Structure 1
């Protein structure tokens, strides 16, 4: 057989194998999620809105990550709050118990000092267990360069 006659057969065979491999990967009965093969994972969550649904969703996302059996004991997490997100850290907010539980689980809770300065908010107005960073955006930039996953729910 000549080369130009074999070409369609080779191409068809390759496409068939590739399609078969894709079907196996996306078969919902055989897929169980990614395997956590690394010893350690780092992620920083960004919160920059005062929208209650977004705040609740972000806190729930962090709690869910902490409970993922693949990641148990392998996670280092940080919540960086800036802009409108400062509402979550204000004394008297509805989020105190959730935040305390996350901190107890080892999550770093960091507030942007630029936001406080720009909005004329005193650190005394925030929960006593909150940490501070000079700039929320700066913290995200540094963490990303350090290999942290950036999550913006």
Structure 2
């Protein structure tokens, strides 16, 4: 009986310390490399739903809060063009605040032609690109992360 108890105690002493061992922390400086990696993200925005536009604004703010130095470009085309049209957007203040944080908003000139929108109708600070898909592909070629929203 004493032998069984001694064996059980020995087993507990040998096994449980490894089960409850704390996870080793990364060497000092390991996270610095991760944090210094420049984040570059291109968003593909083609949805006309204003609730989706609000969701995009929240997501962009979350990224800028977590990675203040992240480069972000939002490529707007198709049904989402109204997001950037001065008289039609529901996100004017949010876009302006994000632009102040460095987020770039670009409108597709092909979509603008189709919807008869002129550059002077876009929000201040919005730039244009000849074709949205071409811009997105070029960003991906340059190593930018891609998010379809």
Q: Give TM class, smaller chain.
A: 0.7 to 0.9
Q: Within 1, Cα distance between the matches of 2:56 and 2:148?
A: 8
Q: Within 2, Cα distance between the matches of 1:90 and 1:44?
A: 20
Residue 118 of structure 1 deviates from its aligned partner by: 1.4
2:84 corresponds, among 86, 89, 104, to: 89
Q: Within 1, Cα distance between the matches of 2:58 and 2:75?
A: 15
1:78 corresponds, among 70, 73, 77, to: 73
Q: RMSD across aligned C-alpha pairs, in angstroms?
A: 1.4
**Matched residue of 1:132: which SS?**
strand
Q: Does 1:149 align with 2:117?
A: no
Runs of 4+ in 1 over 4 A off after TM superposition: none
8 Å Cα contact 1:43/1:77 also seen in 2? yes
Q: Does 1:122 align with 2:118?
A: yes
8 Å Cα contact 1:112/1:135 also seen in 2? yes
8 Å Cα contact 2:50/2:90 also seen in 1? no
The residue number in structure 2 matching 1:7 is none
**Matched residue of 2:62: which SS?**
helix
**Matched residue of 1:127: which SS?**
coil
Q: Within 2, Cα distance between the matches of 1:132 and 1:84?
A: 16
Q: Tell me, which stretches of 5 or more residues in structure 2 are unaligned?
A: 1-30
Structure number, greater radius of gyration: 2
Q: Does 1:106 align with 2:102?
A: yes
The residue number in structure 2 matching 1:140 is 136
2:51 corresponds, among 29, 50, 53, to: 53
Show CA shifts across 1:17-47 (max 9, x none): xxxxxxxxxxxxxxxxxx6704311001111
8 Å Cα contact 1:112/1:133 also seen in 2? yes
Q: Tell me, which stretches of 5 or more residues in structure 1 are unaligned?
A: 1-34
| TM-score w.r.t. length of structure 2 | 0.73
